[in-house]
C-alpha cells in the first residue's frame, strides 16, 4: 500500500489530522535539508512535500521564491530532489514523500527517466501545480504504474471543474485556501468552508488544505473540516531565518531546534 494511504488510514483511526510540511530542497544545502527532514519528523510531521526549486514558480510567493533562488545557486535539480528522498530514508526517515514540482522540469528530464526516478527513490506522491487537467489523466496513469499518487490541486475558482478534477485524484485532494500565490495569510477565501464541503461531496479520499496556513490557530480551524493541513511558506521562512545559525557549526543544533520547535507547536 502507498505510504500516503497508510498514514491517512492510521490517522483516521486515531481521529487525527495529517500535518504536511513543505520544504524547498537544497535550501540552504542538501545535507541540511536531510537534517531538517529528521527534525520535522520528530516534531510530528506526518507527510512531507519536497519542493523542487524552479526559476519561474508561478504558484509560489516571495518566501519560497527566495528559497528557490538560494537552492538554484547550488545547482539543485529535480534529480537532486529525488535523491534527497533516498538520503533522508537512509538517515532513518519513514515519512511519505511528495515531490512538488512544476511541469517544465518533468518535461526536461523526460517522462521515462522521471517516473523511473520517482520509483527508485521511494517517492509516494506527486504534485504539479501547473499541470493542465487535460494531461493529468495520462500522467496519473504513468504515476500509478510506479505506485505514485498524482495529487490534484483544486482552487475556489475551479467551480464546475471540481468533480472532473477530483475524479482522477489519488492519495488526497489538495484544496487551495486562497486565490493567488503561496504565503502566510491572516485570512482566507471567504467561502472556504463551503468550498471544502463541495470538494468532499465529490470524493471519498482524504481532503487537505494549504496555501497561507502558518499558525496553530489556523491549523486547528482547518483540522475541524479537513483530513490534512499543509504548511509551506511559514516553515520555509523559519529555515531562512535559521540559516545564520545553520551555517555556524557551533550553533547549528540551535538552528535545527528552532525549526523543529516551530513545527512541533503546529502539531495537534
CB 252 within 8 A of CB 245: yes
pLDDT score of 65: 94
State the average pLDDT over residues 173-183: 79
Whole-number Å distance between alpha carbons of 91 and 38: 8
Of the candidates 256, 186, 265, the one whose C-alpha atom is nearest the C-alpha of residue 23 is 256
Of the candidates 175, 180, 147, the one whose C-alpha atom is nearest the C-alpha of residue 4 is 147
What does pLDDT average to over the chain?
Answer: 94
- Is 49 a residue of the active site? yes
- Asked if pLDDT for residue 199 goes beyond 70, the answer is yes
pLDDT score of 157: 85
CA dihedral defined by 162, 167, 171, 177, rounded to 10 degrees? 0
Give residue for cell 468533480: 163
State the average pLDDT over residues 64-70: 96
CB 66 within 8 A of CB 51: no
Q: Which residue has the higher pLDDT, 177 or 121?
A: 121
- Asked if pLDDT for residue 103 goes beyond 70, the answer is yes
Whole-number Å distance between alpha carbons of 223 and 20: 12
Whole-number Å distance between alpha carbons of 264 and 262: 6
Which listed residue (49, 137, 240, 253) is catalytic? 49
State the average pLDDT over residues 211-219: 94
State the average pLDDT over residues 189-198: 90
Whole-number Å distance between alpha carbons of 212 and 145: 33
Reported residue count of the chain is 268
pLDDT score of 76: 98
- Asked if pLDDT for residue 178 goes beyond 90, the answer is no
CB neighbour list of residue 204: distance below 8 Å, 6 or more residues apart: none
pLDDT score of 183: 63
- Asked if pLDDT for residue 186 goes beyond 70, the answer is no
SS3 150: strand
- Provide the pLDDT confidence category of residue 185 given band limits of 50, 70 and 90: low
Segment of 56-60, 148-152, 192-196 carrying the highest mean pLDDT: 148-152
Least confident of 92-96, 115-119, 140-144, 159-163: 159-163
- Asked if pLDDT for residue 181 goes beyond 70, the answer is no
- Provide the pLDDT confidence category of residue 58 given band limits of 50, 70 and 90: confident
- Asked if pLDDT for residue 180 goes beyond 80, the answer is no
pLDDT score of 243: 98
- Provide the pLDDT confidence category of residue 160 given band limits of 50, 70 and 90: confident
Which listed residue (27, 41, 46, 60) is catalytic? 60
Domains, the chain, ranges and CATH?
A: 17-150+215-266 (3.20.20.70)
Whole-number Å distance between alpha carbons of 224 and 241: 31
SS3 22: strand
Amino acid at each position: 500500500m502507498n505510504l500516503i494511504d497508510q498514514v491517512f488510514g492510521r490517522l483516521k483511526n486515531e481521529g487525527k489530522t495529517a500535518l504536511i510540511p513543505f520544504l524547498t530542497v537544497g535550501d540552504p544545502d542538501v545535507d541540511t535539508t536531510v537534517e531538517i527532514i529528521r527534525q520535522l519528523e520528530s516534531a510530528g510531521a506526518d507527510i512531507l512535500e519536497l519542493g523542487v526549486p524552479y526559476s519561474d514558480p508561478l504558484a509560489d510567493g516571495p518566501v519560497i521564491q527566495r528559497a528557490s533562488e538560494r537552492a538554484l545557486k547550488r545547482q539543485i535539480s529535480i534529480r537532486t530532489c529525488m535523491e534527497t528522498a533516498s538520503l533522508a530514508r537512509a538517515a532513518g526517515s519513514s515519512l511519505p514523500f511528495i515531490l512538488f514540482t512544476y511541469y517544465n522540469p518533468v518535461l526536461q528530464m523526460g517522462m521515462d527517466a522521471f517516473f523511473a526516478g520517482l520509483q527508485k527513490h521511494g517517492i509516494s506522491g506527486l504534485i504539479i501545480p501547473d499541470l493542465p487537467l487535460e494531461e493529468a489523466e495520462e500522467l496519473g496513469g504513468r504515476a500509478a504504474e510506479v505506485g505514485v499518487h498524482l495529487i490534484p490541486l483544486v482552487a475556489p475558482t475551479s467551480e464546475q471543474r471540481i468533480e472532473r478534477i477530483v475524479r482522477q485524484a489519488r492519495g488526497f485532494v489538495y484544496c487551495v485556501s486562497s486565490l493567488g500565490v503561496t504565503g502566510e495569510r491572516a485570512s482566507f477565501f471567504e467561502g472556504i468552508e463551503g468550498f471544502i464541503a463541495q470538494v468532499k461531496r465529490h470524493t471519498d479520499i482524504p481532503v487537505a488544505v494549504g496555501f497561507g496556513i502558518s499558525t496553530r490557530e489556523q491549523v486547528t480551524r482547518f483540522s475541524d473540516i479537513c483530513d490534512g493541513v499543509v504548511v509551506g511558506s511559514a516553515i520555509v521562512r523559519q529555515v531562512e531565518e535559521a540559516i545564520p545559525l545553520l551555517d555556524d557549526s557551533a550553533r547549528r543544533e540551535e538552528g535545527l531546534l528552532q525549526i523543529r520547535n516551530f513545527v512541533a507547536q503546529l502539531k495537534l
